[in-house]
Structure 1
């Protein structure tokens, strides 16, 4: 398959590309607004093409021989709140333009759109599923919801073959912190393991989040690539990617089990009102029956996610 990944310079695009490139039959095009590398550790790096492009102005990566497209580019939640114009330009306008180009260039192409559980806002039922009315309380979630509706309509009309996955918070993310309200959910593990201070913007240790490890999410993204088109109604293409509910205390417990109790000294709890407002608007208790029935996987535990991260760090050393 010939597969395009937008926003491919980010950690998720790099992880997915590395996995796709383990299959010698895949050709992968990685594009971003910055120089994007071929992921280290790729088994077939010669099958990768990298393209630096501003997708608002240049859609030349969209060609008639594409088999599938992963839309990952975006400005995260905190970044979208801080800069409304930039968030709308990247999260809404550029994605709409790409979808429009796709429908003209390769009608019916499989499009996998990375949405977010930030589309949900208060008030919420005790358990959330795909039938729960999305009422986003942030610009990031609002833009995601608008694109979801567009993907649904374009799929209904046969213009694309879309699948929307609403991501849980991904943890543990490697690399630098992302400009997202949920960034601390990776930082609370990643930074202490590296002997660096981690700031937690909410002092309530019972605060819950819905999370998924990168490894499990990548497996689900690969699964979405070949999900039969008729597995979902043509006008309802949204699936909540399975996650698990974990509190801050449970995150700290996992940190201690994997890294040792001395790592707690690096955790600094404070109160950031702007971030707390965003975080408390998000859903955390999900019924993932639909996703599981379609063959998507659920994470085992948060401790397993932390151990996956440690294993990744060890594997990464062999690529250097």
Structure 2
């Protein structure tokens, strides 16, 4: 089978590719061809004879049309302009997050088969009253351009699936923590930075109050959930292809307390609180409380605690705590 990952050069795309190579395939069969598409790829990429890295712009119709002619059985759509950048550059966010996604669906509609698509959406489709518990039937109320773009694509994925053009499943990702590497332009990037940087002996700043609660999931659980989504039988899903992924509600203060218990006060002393109006205008509208029973019932997984997430990151990075 042929698997295609849009956004394959990013952190999650590379980790997903590595996991798929190691597992050998999905329930549908063994992987014979694994295509990764992105605007750039790092030097350290998974090595495998089945893997092909294609440097291309997700919004380039010609490039997308050509790769679809290879008839991928499963498509992981992880390509996106992240939240902060999409808010500051409306045109770019619309071009990549919305119009390119619509273009992908239209090109898939022209195929003589219905590829399975796993779409990485976001909990940013919700906004407003942060005390409200988000349930499966809660309507999206995004208060950012990024969240609005994700919500529009979710609706299209549902409708194109209803029509039989594709077989999509949309996963609303919590904030991913802890990401390795450097901070990115996502407004939630600080959730990783305030743990990652101090563990490496570097200063970090938190732009939101310590009592702020966030909805998080570790990279390992996200990859598990991507693969599980790809393996779910179409008949189980029905017309609602959108899932709020199970996550962990935790305050910044609780995360830092866990970090101190695992490492030392010297580590957490490297963190300062420096309010950022732009980041707060977006992050503080994201609800941190979710009831995800439907996703849990169908087999999606969550992390046990912030301590588990931090310890996993330390072990993976080989950090001496």
Give the alignment's TM-score, normalised by structure 1.
Answer: 0.93
> Which position in structure 2 is the counterpart of 1:265?
269
Question: 1:133 Cα shift?
Answer: 1.1
- Measured in 2, the distance between the counterparts of 1:64 and 1:10 equals 22
> Root-mean-square deviation (CA), in Å?
1.5
Alignment partner of 2:214: what SS?
strand
State yes or no: 1:228 paired with 2:233: yes
Please identify runs of 4+ aligned residues in structure 1 that moved more than 2 A.
35-40, 123-126
- CA separation of 1:264 and 1:177: change in aligned 2, threshold 3 A: same
Find the residue that maps to 2:119 and give its secondary structure: strand
For this pair of structures, how many residues does the alignment match?
310
Runs of 5+ in structure 1 lacking a partner?
A: 316-320
Residue 65 in structure 1 maps to residue 71 in structure 2 = yes
Is the partner of 1:105 in helix, strand or coil? coil
Query: C-alpha deviations, 1:63-88, integer Å up to 9, x for none?
Result: 35311000011111111111111111
Give the match's secondary structure for 1:9.
Answer: coil
Q: Which residue of 1 aligns with 2:212?
A: 207
Is 1:50 matched with 2:53?
yes
1:191 to 177, 191, 197: 197
Moved more, 125-134 or 296-305: 125-134
- 1:2–1:66 contact (8 Å) kept in structure 2: yes
Q: Check conservation: 1:36, 1:51, Cα contact below 8 A.
A: no
Query: SS at the partner of 2:269?
Result: helix
In 2: Cα distance, 1:154 partner to 1:38 partner: 36
Partner of 2:316: 312
Aligned to 2:27: none
Does the CA-based 8 Å contact 1:120-1:134 persist in structure 2? yes
TM-score by length of 2: 0.93
CA distance in 2 between counterparts of 1:266 and 1:48 reads: 41
Q: Does 1:299 align with 2:299?
A: no
Task: Give structure 2 stretches of 5+ with no counterpart.
Answer: 25-29
Q: Could you tell me how far 1:35 is from its partner in structure 2?
A: 3.4
Shift of 1:37: 5.5
Correspondences of 1:281-300 after superposition (within 5 Å)? 281-300=285-304
